[in-house]
A and B are shown apart, each in its own frame.
Chain A
Amino acid sequence: MSSSPTSLHLAVALDGAGWHPAAWREPVARPGELLTAAYWTDLVAEAERGLLDLVTIEDALGLQSSSRTEPDGRTDQVRGRLDAVLIAARVAPLTRHIGVVPTVVATHTEPFHISKAIATLDYVSTGRAGLRLQVTARAHEAAHFGRRTFPPFGPDDYRTPAGRELVNGLFDEAADYVEVVRRLWDSWEDDAEIRDATTGRFIDRAKLHYIDFEGTHFRVKGPSVTPRPPQGQPIVSALAHATVPYRLVARSADIGYVTPHDAGEARAVVEEIRTEQAAAGRADETVHIFGDLVVFLDDDPAVAAARRERLDELAGEPYTSDAPVFTGTPAGLADLLQDLAAAGLTGFRLRPAVAGHDLPAITRGLVPELQRRNAFRREYEADTLRGLLGLTRPANRYAATATA
């Protein structure tokens, strides 16, 4: 568990110049460098200076859009991005403690490839890797692959029977995807490499396992080509807004990112996930529930509000989000986080409205404030992301079977 009963976990969600669509126009933004290694290295190093548990890196298989369902053809916002797994791998050797958690899209990618990619990220970060699972029903992204088609799907379609069926199907597929990825991570026992010169055997093949997964969308034989990663099981996380994704978090994830707007809502979400977790037989496992918040932070609340207004004006519309938006001081945010934590959230993933401004405000304003309240670590207490999250290194499911 956490280092102290009141200690929070903190993550930061990195996306381009920041989460506000006009963030790139701020003087501190580096809009011409969003596709460079230096930009990402600097952001993650800043997050590590703040002793954060992890960074997530957003991704998608299509251009960014102000529409949730289709491209918008806009030229006044950041468009174009790099593959999140590669960004994570590029920054990992240059950091030492912070978790690196790229987004992966389950809908169009191969669990075999992703399993070895995240296992390798765990090797290159020496035990700090995770993934953030995402599904997509966007028709235009499916057209980039040409293997499946989706009907046009808007926010209202969640309520129709066909919409529900589509969403349920995508999340069932994602659950299978995680199951394949996790089995592949376990498909080598930790001591499978024996280098036994007397028999000439490099591995003990009895410690390698076919995963033989068969589901609606995949049939994957295994074993992985990559040995079991340092953490055994890197961290699996997902953003969730409703019952179906809550169930995925409860069954398959180590961290769920949720978006309650007050303590009451937070309590309800936590209760729903805990109930699902128990139903899935995972009641004794640690599943973190992090609240997601977009943050505009300044030492003077009026300055923060004015900055948000200025950005909205540049964007031509008020900023809205799936997550609650906090505008104010680091101390005010610390109050809110502690209030939400009391409702059962175990940590937070903060989305800096302007990466170049609000990330340092988190690391140099919020973090010291939480430390003063004895609610956040003063130094990294573990070498792995699992360690930072208070998770033990899991036993290998196949080894356990063998000794049972």
Chain B
Amino acid sequence: MSKPLKQIHLAAHFPGVNNTTVWSDPEAGSHIEFSSFAHFARTSERAKFDFLFLAEGLRLREQGGEIYDLDVVGRPDTFTVLAALAAVTEHLGLTGTINSTFNEPYEVARQFASLDHLSGGRAAWNVVTSWDAFTGENFRRGGFLPQQERYSRAKEFLATTNELFDSWHGDEILADRRTGTFLSDAKAGAFVHKGQHFDIEGQFNVPRSPQGRPVIFQAGDSEEGRDFAASSADAIFSRYATLKEGQAFYTDVKGRLARYGRRPDQLLILPAATFVLGDTDAEAEELAREVRRSQVSGATAIKHLEFVWNRDLSGYDPDGPLPDIDPDPGEHTVARGRAQVRMYRDPSAIAREWRERAAANKWSIRDLVIETGNRQAFVGSPSTVATTINDFVQADVSDGFILAPHITPGGLDAFTDRVVPLLQERGVYRTEYEGTTLRDHLGLDHPDDARDEREAS
């Protein structure tokens, strides 16, 4: 007996501030006008994607003490653009990253609950943490949060918002004109939360939304991040989309769920991936090389090397060999406002490995940066791309992928028209939305079901 085929989940990421959008392409449109977001969302919905995802940035990136000017810069406010997109779509999930450091639970809870109401149950929250004083310089709270407290605040933040979401049961609004009873319960929305980070009480003023709670996404690869996701998230954005790494991550994270009394299907693993399509595999490979060259200019290559070296490398030739000096081991000060490579691994080890790889392959700095680009790319004819995506999902690399095209807003059009039908033919991808909420699309339980069970028992 072969096991039944997994259904693939697909979603779209409108790239915000990034170095992968080929903004110089004549087909590249605005990255800030609403018409771009509307086009992107409508295409995603035509493709029957689960959701559209927007990342967040709260301070412009700097490098060497200046605003970084080589990438797309500038993005809209997450909540505002997602609410507007709810007006031009009917089914598409609307997922936004919102920081738990520079916000307060009451306000974020009412924004997500409002988005869920206004979209008919399509809201999702990618909970992220930050601690850095650099970003904090734009906010009242400032940057005082110690790094080790970021997950503790995030966990308590999410727990607090869940208390607020659950403070209305969903049956309080009677709106009975005859008796003049609007609410069945004067205490609807009452909450008290006293904890390490939040000491708040009162009444939440947004009644229960269609999904009860927004779908929760989490990103973060550390032990703490994986545990946070296993305990509290509905889906995790993974960094691993290659076969071996992806499978290892998948096994590890799914294995953690039981510790929290959860089933493996209660957390979806969705890595980001890019794609390049051609009429033939060879044509797509050629196009992919051109795309990578466009994404990594000589100047960009030097700047990327500086993330690891933490030194000014502007004197180096991007078409020459890698620097033979070692990275500066001190606090990272060259590049600010981005999740640095240095957060994950020892920079000296990365530098050593890169020098060896570059020497062995006769790569210049720019070649090296192009080759070590860290995202999975599905490159090939539509048939090859459909096959590879399906193979990866069936091999438990992930439950699906979040696709970020290198052209906005039109970069999903060809995928939608040429790859999606092939996945549908193979019976691994929906031909119609089965439900109306994002929880429906993702196959997640409704939080009220769990509560009803608890109350019944």
Contact = CB atoms under 8 A, between A and B. Distances in A.
B383 to A, nearest CB: 34
B202 A144 contact: yes
Contact of B200 (A79, A85, A145): A145
Interface string B198-223: 11111101110000000000000000
A76 B182 contact: yes
A80 B80 contact: no
Interface string B371-384: 00000000000000
B73 interface: yes
A112 interface: yes
Given A60-B205, A63-B203, A110-B140, A86 B67 contact: no
Contacts of B300: 200
Given A31-B177, A200-B297, A121 B80 contact: yes
B353 interface: no
Q: Residue among B70, B81, B83, B120 with the most chain A CB within 10 A? A: B83
Q: Which of A36, A37, A63, A86 has the most CB of B within 10 A?
A: A86
Contacts of B369: none
B428 to A, nearest CB: 33
Interface string B277-301: 0000000000000000000011110
B243 interface: no
Given A63-B203, A92-B84, A108-B104, A24 B177 contact: yes
A219 B142 contact: yes
A87 interface: yes
28 contacts: A29-B177, A31-B177, A31-B182, A32-B173, A35-B207, A37-B119, A61-B106, A61-B110, A61-B205, A76-B182, A78-B182, A79-B182, A81-B205, A83-B111, A89-B81, A89-B84, A90-B83, A91-B87, A108-B104, A116-B80, A117-B80, A120-B80, A123-B33, A124-B34, A144-B200, A146-B198, A203-B69, A205-B69
A90 B77 CA distance: 14
B117 interface: yes
B414 to A, nearest CB: 23
Q: What bracket does the count of chain A residues touching chain B fall in?
A: 35 or more
A54 B96 CA distance: 29
- Of A81, A93, A110, A202, the most chain B CB neighbours within 10 A belong to A202
Interface in B314-348: none
The 9 closest A-B pairs by CB, nearest first: A89-B83, A31-B175, A124-B84, A120-B80, A83-B114, A221-B137, A120-B77, A120-B76, A82-B114
Interface stretch (B54-62, B396-404, B435-443): B54-62
A354 interface: no
A78 B183 CA distance: 8
Given A112-B139, A120-B76, A193-B74, A93 B88 contact: yes
Contacts of A144: 106, 200-202
Interface stretch (B185-193, B245-253, B359-367): B185-193
B299 A200 contact: yes
Contact of A202 (B23, B33, B206): B23
B71 interface: yes
A119 interface: yes
Given A124-B84, A222-B138, A63 B77 contact: no
Contact of B201 (A143, A204, A226): A143
Interface of B: 17, 23-24, 32-34, 38, 57-60, 66-67, 69-77, 79-81, 83-84, 86-88, 102-104, 106-107, 110-111, 113-115, 117-120, 137-140, 142, 168, 173, 175, 177, 180-189, 198-203, 205-207, 297-300
Contacts of B173: 32, 80
Contacts of B17: 225
Given A117-B77, A120-B81, A109 B70 contact: no
A146 B138 CA distance: 20
A119 B76 CA distance: 8
Contact of A123 (B76, B102, B110): B76
Interface in A9-43: 22, 24-25, 27, 29, 31-32, 35-37, 41
A126 B36 CA distance: 13
B58 to A, nearest CB: 6
A25 B120 contact: no
A124 B73 contact: no
B80 A124 contact: yes
A188 B181 CA distance: 51
A94 interface: yes
Interface string A45-65: 000000000000000111110
A96 B183 CA distance: 36
A93 B114 contact: no
B70 A201 contact: yes
B206 A82 contact: yes
A71 B189 CA distance: 12
A75 B184 contact: yes
Interface in A177-222: 188, 193, 195, 197, 199-205, 208, 217-222
A136 interface: no
B240 to A, nearest CB: 28
Given A83-B114, A85-B80, A146-B199, A75 B60 contact: no
Given A90-B86, A202-B73, A80 B34 contact: no
A36 B117 contact: yes
A291 interface: no
Nearest to B189: A63
A112 B141 CA distance: 12
B171 to A, nearest CB: 12
A220 B107 contact: no
Contacts of B117: 35-37, 82
B113 to A, nearest CB: 8
B450 to A, nearest CB: 23
Contact of A24 (B113, B175, B199): B175
A159 interface: no
A136 to B, nearest CB: 13
A188 B69 CA distance: 13
Nearest to A62: B205
A123 B34 contact: yes
A227 B30 CA distance: 12
A401 to B, nearest CB: 18
Q: Which of B84, B107, B297 has the most CB of A within 10 A?
A: B84
A112 B200 CA distance: 23
